[in-house]
Structure 1
Amino acid sequence: MPFKASGRATDYRAIDRFDGGAGWIAHPEETMQRASHVLRASGGEADGGAWVVDPVNADGVDDLLAEFGDVRGVVVLMDRHARDAAAVADRHDVPVYVPSFVDPDVDAQTQPLGGTLPDSDYEVVRTVDWPGWDEAALSDGETLVVGDAVGTTEYFRAGGERVGVHPLLRVKPPRALRQFRPERILTGHGEGVLTDATRALQDALDGARRNAPEVWLNGLKALV
């Protein structure tokens, strides 16, 4: 099992389906479990279009996107998540939207993303402000969409955690995450948490330092 698969995926696994969106993992066999998402715009109206977040390309994924309307933009939440944003944006003839404090290497037309995601209830919130690591989250009060700050893959989580703080953020977990009380969490790595998400997030933050050694060991095992 590769840590990170290369090339375009010939298939994908759909995840995280709810009324306002869905997700997919383009390379289900990889350890990183890079997850991408599509969010319905305009407060859930079917004709309002869709936003694509941190996409990894896969054959057939446009069928999933079409369920939520025409793609109106691609969003990149953090520096390292350019992924296949340019390819998806070019295919749908839309810009890539980037928060002002995020600087990904994207070979496509970009638009600055302010405090809200246009024509949606999602706010853009800065969650990580480290040297070499800038990250935003999207939140509409019910759904929290993150890049790397938390995740659900094996190398993010300790034993009893449903979602875990990124291994490199465990010593000083982002304070910004404590403001959220989501019903669901969609992460950039692994399947989302679709039930009792506020408790899962609070448990992850409260146990971040205590559970760090176990998570770091899981990370070493994943690498080898």
Structure 2
Amino acid sequence: MSPTLDVVDRWDGGISWTLEEDSMHRTSHALGTDAGVWIIDPVDAPGLDDELDELGDVAGVTLLLDRHKRDSEVVARRHDVPVSLPAALGPVADELDAQAERYAGSLPGTEFRTVRLTNNRFWREVALFDADRGTLVVPEAVGTNELFSTSDERLGVHPVLRLFPPRQALGGLEPERVLVGHGPGVFDDAAAALRYALGNSRRNAPKLYAQAALTPFK
């Protein structure tokens, strides 16, 4: 049975989607920019291209986390664009069965600047932030599904990063919306939700770990 596309967020200039019945709530994004539509960490499903057509021409596909290759190769080939990688994710190019290009500083043709979060051989992650649009995209360091957040948090830090959250990288940002790689985005007072997530990451860690222990594996 083909996966069913589920658009979880829609705003002026973009969409976020996941697949129904995906227990990990793997979430992808399409951002309308002056350069065209950029697709981020995509999962593919019937109906996706119809949604993208509503936003404009596809400018490219980019990955922000080394583990989020997902369906990027399929989507990139279908739209005849390369998979673009921020400099920190350069080594991922060797793992792709698709043309790959690298960029540094900002997403090509846009005002989305790269924000390096984690860069080691186990975890390479970059966020994107456009201050004028008020959009922050964080693929893994923070999320909104039950694996990331407690009942007190609208946005939560990844369990592995709870004791050492990326405060230096993200703490000074004031986004109007935060888009994440697992779960719906945060659109209501997003800057406050981000500050709370980073500031209370350690304090809320025991509650999150206890919650995870009681959550049945799916």
Matched, 1:195 2:195: no
Instruction: For residue 68 of structure 1, report the CA deviation from its aligned partner.
Output: 1.3
Instruction: For residue 131 of structure 1, report the CA deviation from its aligned partner.
Output: 4.1
Superposition pairs of residues 1-224 of structure 1, within 5 angstroms? 9=3, 11-26=4-19, 28-42=20-34, 48-102=35-89, 103-104=91-92, 105-141=95-131, 142-174=134-166, 175-220=168-213, 221-223=215-217
In terms of mean alpha carbon deviation, does 150-159 or 126-135 score higher?
126-135
Instruction: For residue 222 of structure 1, report the CA deviation from its aligned partner.
Output: 4.5
Deviations along 1:121-164, one digit per CA (max 9) or x if unpaired, are 11011112344111001100100001101000011001210000
Return closer, same or farther for 1:19/1:154 CA change in 2, 3 Å cut-off: same
Contact 1:170 1:212 in 2 (8 A): yes
Taking structure 1 as the reference length, the TM-score comes to: 0.90
Distance in 1 between residues matched to 2:216 and 2:40, nearest whole Å? 25
Instruction: For residue 179 of structure 1, report the CA deviation from its aligned partner.
Output: 2.2
Q: CA RMSD in A?
A: 1.4
Paired residue secondary structure (2:154): coil
Instruction: For residue 113 of structure 1, report the CA deviation from its aligned partner.
Output: 1.7
4+ residue segments displaced more than 6 Å = none
Distance in 2 between residues matched to 1:83 and 1:178, nearest whole Å? 28
Return closer, same or farther for 1:106/1:179 CA change in 2, 3 Å cut-off: farther
Taking structure 2 as the reference length, the TM-score comes to: 0.92
- Structure 1 residue runs without a partner (length 5+): 1-6, 43-47
Deviations along 1:157-199, one digit per CA (max 9) or x if unpaired, are 0121000000000010012111211000000000000110000
Distance in 2 between residues matched to 1:116 and 1:72, nearest whole Å? 14
Contact 1:165 1:173 in 2 (8 A): yes
Distance in 2 between residues matched to 1:8 and 1:112, nearest whole Å? 32
- Structure 2 residue runs without a partner (length 5+): none
Paired residue secondary structure (1:205): helix
Distance in 2 between residues matched to 1:165 and 1:193, nearest whole Å? 14
Distance in 2 between residues matched to 1:79 and 1:222, nearest whole Å? 27
Return closer, same or farther for 1:222/1:100 CA change in 2, 3 Å cut-off: farther
Instruction: For residue 8 of structure 1, report the CA deviation from its aligned partner.
Output: 5.5
